[in-house]
Chains A and B, each alone.
Chain A
Amino acid sequence: MKRVGIVALNTFREAVRDRVLYNLVFFALLMMLAAVVVGQISIGIEESVIVSLGLSAISVIGLLISVFIGVALVSKEMEKRTLYALLAKPVRRWEFLLGKFGGLVLTLAVNTAAMAAGLFLVMLYVKHSLQREDAVVLVAVYFIWLKLALIVALALMFSCFTTPLLAILFTAGLYIVGLYVQELRNLPVDVMSPATAAFTKWLSYLLPNFENFNVMAMAAHGRAVPGTLILQNTLYVVIYCAIVLTGAAAVFSRKNLK
């Protein structure tokens, strides 16, 4: 695992030096603008507007980073051939892959935490104080980070066996589909043929379910998130990521580099 850590820390360093964290400036400007404007136009619901806007911004910025940089993690190394010298060291390919994944997830953790801190500052500015129920915003931010980790795993897997452009399309497509998995599960299977019903059910459990990670409405209204959901989402991401990364490692371990 030491080798995984070395690759992960270098991936984090790469993100920092390639100015990935500059998005925080954009987020800060957006939140400052929101704090000023919201106070003037939304009397009484400032907090929920600020929380909704802040969490949406954290989610969208994180999505962009996880899809685009997630796909580039390995494909850029193959394209630029920076991987050649590294794989000549005592490093297994799966260790490299896991390190790249860990590095970007670490970057997203720092990025998301910084944005969350900014959001709390704006909430404090608008409300003049923070209450115990505001902790639900932290849970919402944690869920966003979990979701982003899963997206990075998917982007990494697709980038192992297709072109970067297709990998971006597949990852984004799967994310959008994953937002509606619950609808797929709720389809009236009794009007379908047994084969179609079985396929629909199988597909609904195979596809990543991103719907469970959206607790923005609860956070905006200060409603507590059940502890079981936190545990369930955490386990879901750990297991799903493990499966996806195992698949990615299996493909990447037999891949002929250029």
Chain B
Amino acid sequence: MSGFAIEIENLTKEYPFGFLHLKKKTSLEGLNMQVEMGEVFGFIGPNGAGKSTTIKLLMRLIFPTAGSARILGRPISDVEMHKDIGYLPEQPYFYDYLTAAEVLDYFARFHDLRAGDRKERVERMLKKVGLETARKIQLRKYSKGMLQRVGLAQAILHDPKLVILDEPMSGLDPVGRREVRDIILELKREGKTVMFSTHILSDAEALCDRVGVIVGGKLRGVGAPGQLVDMKTQGMEILFALTGASDEPLLAKAMKTGEYYRLQVAEGELYVAIEQLRGTGARILSVTQVKATLEEFFMNLVEADRAQAAAVEVSGK
């Protein structure tokens, strides 16, 4: 087996549209990417970027126009490989005439688990995702967040080596999001590989060993969150409070949040700025370095993609 949990080569997906399906929209363009064994990999991008398309291609819910992929060293057409993977679909929906315990038991049956083992695992999973008290309620009465928890439980029920989660934080309240983050970290501690898509960048930054950024169906960058963005200091932020009125021009550049002011200046201008603020009678509370965030990196890519799309539209190509 190779050292990669997922290997994607030139994966492309085009959707025909129009009356006679003669026009084609490219949803994913020549994706090349690897997810290493044991890592938590975040797949980030705006809505419609191609994240879910990639995951659906990996799960063979849709079929590629070109390219190929391997999971755990085996081609994705090998259904038996699914014994070792868990998948949470985006906005999951399950048989609403079943209870949470029944739906988990149903899915567990496909993994050749004995009745006693199935029962024990179902109970453990329900407890893990916080649904043990709702275990006997039919899913038609579940909220979106509760369905998301059921989805997560069925994805990890059979102790898979690789877990693929499509927008796992979607529809969850802050408590639920925290619990999902904890589950992902626990999976990592157990040596599992986790790939999850998200557009919540703080989750990706907090959880991922590496992230892949996809915009407009193209992969724009892969690496550790810190490597992707420029880690050099981009400036200094001074937090201060004013004790009286002042007409110092520097204050016009500051942003007021509550009773405090924030002022961003270049690193070389820090001491001059502090002196000027002191001259106005300001009370300096803190000085911090300003670094680029994953969000800024992401937004730059999205803006560039939009500008390119607009240029193509204008030129008609």
Q: Taking beta carbons and an 8 Å cutoff, which residues of A are in contact with B?
A: 3, 6, 10, 13-14, 17-18, 80-82, 84-92, 254, 256-257
Contact = CB atoms under 8 A, between A and B. Distances in A.
A90 B113 CA distance: 13
B311 interface: no
Interface of B: 56, 59-63, 79-83, 85-89, 91-95, 97-98, 106-107, 109-111, 151, 154-155
Given A10-B95, A14-B97, A88 B85 contact: yes
A81 B85 CA distance: 19
A3 B163 CA distance: 22
8 contacts: A13-B98, A82-B95, A85-B89, A85-B94, A85-B155, A88-B89, A91-B110, A256-B63
Contacts of B83: 90
Contact of B89 (A3, A13, A81, A89): A81
A90 B151 CA distance: 17
Give the top 6 A-B pairs by smallest Cβ distance, nearest first: A88-B87, A84-B89, A17-B97, A89-B110, A256-B62, A90-B82
B95 A14 contact: yes
Given A10-B95, A85-B151, A90-B110, A257 B62 contact: yes
A13 B105 CA distance: 14
A87 B85 CA distance: 12
A257 B87 CA distance: 16
A49 B80 CA distance: 56
Nearest to A254: B63
A10 B106 contact: yes
A88 B60 CA distance: 8
B97 A87 contact: no
A6 B109 contact: yes
B107 A85 contact: yes
Contacts of B61: 84, 87, 256-257
A84 B107 CA distance: 12
